[in-house]
Amino acid sequence: MLFYEPFFALFAFPAFYAVYLWFNDRAAAKKWALILGSVAFYTWGEPLFVPIVLASSLLDYVLSKRIIPGTRDTSRKFWLALGIAANLCILVFYKYTDFLIANFNTLLAPFAGSQLPLLKIALPIGVSFVVFEKISYLVDTYRGTSKPARSFSDYCLFVFMFPKLLAGPIPKYHEMQDPIANPAAATWNDVQAGFLRFARGIAKKLLIADTCGAFADAAFGANAITLGAGQAWLGVVCFTLQIYFDFSAYSDMAIGLARMLGFRLRENFSMPYTARSLTDFWRRWHISLTTWIRDYLYKPLGGNRGSAAQTYLNLWICFLLSGIWHGASWNFVLWGAYNGLFLTLDRMFLIRWLERSGAAISTAVTLFIVMIGWVIFRATSAEHIGGYLAAMFDFTRAASTLDIPPELPLAVLIGSILSLLPATPLYAPLTRLYERSVHVRRLAVAALIALYVIALARAFAVPFTPFIYFRF
């Protein structure tokens, strides 16, 4: 069940929300309604994975009692390692087993006549996000940042809470501990603000991301040799807009739904395409993941406390693993290495050069670096990466026919304006006008509701396209 499906938006969620609001002043009943609703939501799409998540959550809950700072148990590190290993085993089994088997077969191909069969294990939606949330709970409990969950039901609600379950944002338990234990009554302001945020996500996903995504799929799905430079660049632009408006749309929907339920989730994006360096970009893109990597990987490795060479190595390790987290494919490993390279160059000299170059040049250069990275991310193999990049920069090549849908130019224009407007001098006065004028705010609300209706109408007419990050 997807947030933007008409069945969810028009039937399933309103029915659940009516029950939830019925218990609005009864925290315990409301908490159980949310637990049962969240488990039912995940069971709808991943029924076989739910018992595994429940069993591993029970293990987390039991182990968290044994790793509290100050306990006499001298085996705290062992229990922490056991909990982390158990969660990583889930991730490796579902996500990387076939990848490891395929690469093992490749290595043995010159020496062995037969190969190991691929298991073709279905990847549960959201498994990477669930595992990272559960690991952060264990580590924070070990560090004393979080207290253990007061009850197993509290921890289950943290793991299964359906707005953020499938693709983040990745919360930390101590950020949600009190609201989970005693859910506050949802106010009218929560309902209004949450719905408008949800509507914004629906419009971004269905009207911009999916429209751009259709052409991106066609461009990256074509033989790169047949693409002209203009087609290849348009494909990259479309994917650049698709992945941003697709993923940030899910975050908008998750934050909006959680707000309607009386919870506050952290922001996950902060105008990333206005970044003036790749370091700045990664402070703005998928914020909950980058902070997770910083807190649970980069800092334990030593962060920037050692020599420059050690810092560069730590950055590379973190982004190589970030690439692997995104998918079981070598192009994701290359994408992680590519980002690690430019983050290293930032620390060496690039960020200082960009600062001296001015806002327009630094933003343009950073966006160019990011877009080349998206080619690596979106391509399916090293050969595909090379062929696509060659098409982008071969301006003499004759192009084959690649249909441009009539709605694409408008989607690209609006997506580009929304992405880049915050980098222009117009953004500040427009923001002040919105904040000061009641009429402008009302007009914006009316426009957003109209776009929400149009987007839902499109959902009835066009085959659904899953969120990109559901693959991860």
Return the active site residues. 326
3-state SS, residue 12: helix
Q: Give Cα 348 to chain centroid, integer Å.
A: 29
Cα 469 from Cα 286, distance rounded (Å): 11
Under a CB-based contact definition with an 8 Å cutoff, are residues 246 and 205 in contact?
Answer: yes
Give the list of residues 6+ apart from residue 461 with CB closer than 8 angstroms, or none.
Answer: none
**How many other CB atoms are found less than 10 A from the CB of residue 17?**
17
Angle between helices 188-203 and 229-260 (to 10 degrees): 160
Cα 269 from Cα 34, distance rounded (Å): 26
Cα 336 from Cα 348, distance rounded (Å): 18
Task: Report the first-to-last Cα separation within the chain, whole angstroms.
Answer: 17
Cα 401 from Cα 126, distance rounded (Å): 37
* Amino acid code (one letter) for 50: V
Four-CA torsion 407, 459, 41, 258, nearest 10 degrees: 60
**Read out DSSP for 190-229?**
HHHHHHHHHHHHHHIIIIIIHHHHHHHHHHHHS-GGG--H
